[in-house]
Amino acid sequence: MTLHALSQRIGYTPQHISEAERAKSPVSEPFVAALDHALDARGRLVALYPAVMIERAWERQRRSAARRTALRSETEDDVRRRDFIGLGLAVVLLGPEAAARAAADDWDRITLAWSYEIATAPDRQSLLPGLAADLKRLSANGGPQRAIAQLSSYVASIAMSGGDCDLARRWWRRASLAASMAGDSHLTAYVRGGQAVQGLYGAHTPAQALTLADGALAATKTPCAGRMNALAARAQALAMLRRKRDTREALTALERTFERLPRDLTREKISALGWSEQRLHHTASYCGMFVGGGEAARENALAMYDGVMWRGPAQVSLHRAVSMIASGDVREGAQHATAILAPLSDAQRSDRFVRKLAVWTLATITENARSEPAVTELREALASAAA
């Protein structure tokens, strides 16, 4: 595509595009959003925008300190990014002064930016200071309840990742209350559906998850991310209860609702607010651990996951390990699980959404098979995850 053709698509001059392309001028968020849409980047360019703002702020600091060179190591870049994001994305995206008077539309942009961070962060715990800073600004300035609900749901998800189920419940309650105060039925369904899905990793029994899912489904009949979360939670809870026929019917309902979702939800692969096709296959893969099948779903999910995401692929691969062991392939299943966990960081192996599956993997192995060398190796690899 020529600069002129792209210019006609996005409404910016060829000169402006050329300067941005050659890093001769800074870019604005609307410009990035226009490019993302025109180039069918499916949110990837928009997701990178906070990182651009962090890098720009770092460059300003570097110049003001008159440093001629800067060490460029991955570790230092990661620390630097955490320092900036700890200020809150309101400051990163808007600047300190504008963050203090952010409008409702600004907070919509901020919660969207957080949705990418939540979905892709190597260590979710590192996001808590920034989320706390933005929630403090929201409360202090009487910000919109829908933003409070959304950010509170992210904190609840991080609490679950860290294994603190009680803290997660408190933040889910706060998110649900804010969603009700906002009068947003889709957001209410999103919060309750998310709590139902994540509760299956230890905060709730399958029966409790079904009750939460029913509450989310009652909030709205319109196909949306919240309704999909609720339907997925129903299918997974029914599978855990070994209700095979009901599980199949729930998965069918999930597929039919997915077909009616708006395209902006189904195309969004790297945002916590989206509901793309790999999540459909992920759900079927999860169910397969308990009621059998799911191999085709696992293949499809792994093929569709974006490269920047680590948690989903690790989970689906562990679904496969559990199923292999349950079918009698103890050695291969244990070796498969070990191979999946080995490259993960300590923080990633300690993430509850991975750790719980690791525990299930070990629990599936019968007592007489636990002396297998492959099982011993798996137990050592899971030491941090199973703690």
* Triad 169, 170, 173: Cα angle to 5°: 85
C-alpha torsion 282→286→287→293, nearest 10 = 80
Query: DSSP labels for 226-237?
Result: HHHHHHHHHHHH
| pLDDT for 54 | 74
Cβ neighbours for 203, distance < 8 A, ≥ 6 positions apart: 160, 165, 168, 169, 195
User: What's the whole-number average pLDDT of the chain?
Assistant: 88
Residue 187 backbone phi and psi in degrees, to 5: -70, -40
Across the range 197-210, mean pLDDT stands at 93
| pLDDT for 68 | 39
**Out of 31-35, 50-54, 190-194, least confident range:** 50-54
In the chain, pLDDT over 70 holds for what percent of residues? 91
* Whole-angstrom distance, CA of residue 274 vs CA of residue 219: 19
CB neighbours (10 Å) of residue 369? Answer: 15
Confidence of residue 61 (pLDDT cuts 50, 70, 90): low
For the chain, the residue count is: 387
| pLDDT for 371 | 75
Confidence of residue 66 (pLDDT cuts 50, 70, 90): very low
120-169 pLDDT tens trace? 888 899 899 999 999 999 988 888 999 999 999 999 999 999 999 999 99
Most confident region among 59-73, 79-93, 99-113, 177-191 by mean pLDDT: 177-191
| pLDDT for 69 | 44
| pLDDT for 367 | 67
In the chain, pLDDT over 90 holds for what percent of residues? 53
First to last CA, the chain: 53
Q: Residue 243 corresponds to which tokens in the numbers above?
A: 């209700």
Confidence of residue 379 (pLDDT cuts 50, 70, 90): confident
| pLDDT for 77 | 55
**For the chain, what are the domain ranges?**
310-387
Q: Is the per-residue pLDDT at 72 higher than 50?
A: no
305-358 pLDDT tens trace? 988 889 999 999 999 999 999 888 888 888 999 999 989 988 898 999 998 998
> Does an H or E element contain 250, and which?
helix 244-258
Exposure string of 305-333, with b = 16+ CB inside 10 Å and e = fewer, is bbeeebbbbbbbbbbbbbbbbbeeebeeb
Which residue's entry shows tokens 């339907």?
Answer: 231
Confidence of residue 71 (pLDDT cuts 50, 70, 90): very low
230-275 pLDDT tens trace? 999 999 999 999 999 999 999 999 999 999 999 889 988 888 999 9
Which comes out higher in pLDDT, residue 383 or 234? 234
Confidence of residue 78 (pLDDT cuts 50, 70, 90): low
| pLDDT for 134 | 94
76: buried, middle or exposed (CB in 10 Å: 19+, 13-18, 0-12)? exposed
| pLDDT for 67 | 43
Confidence of residue 217 (pLDDT cuts 50, 70, 90): very high
CB neighbours (10 Å) of residue 29? Answer: 16
- pTM, to two decimals: 0.81
- 337: Cα separation from own chain's centroid: 22
* Whole-angstrom distance, CA of residue 149 vs CA of residue 187: 8
| pLDDT for 73 | 46
Q: Is the per-residue pLDDT at 293 higher than 70?
A: yes
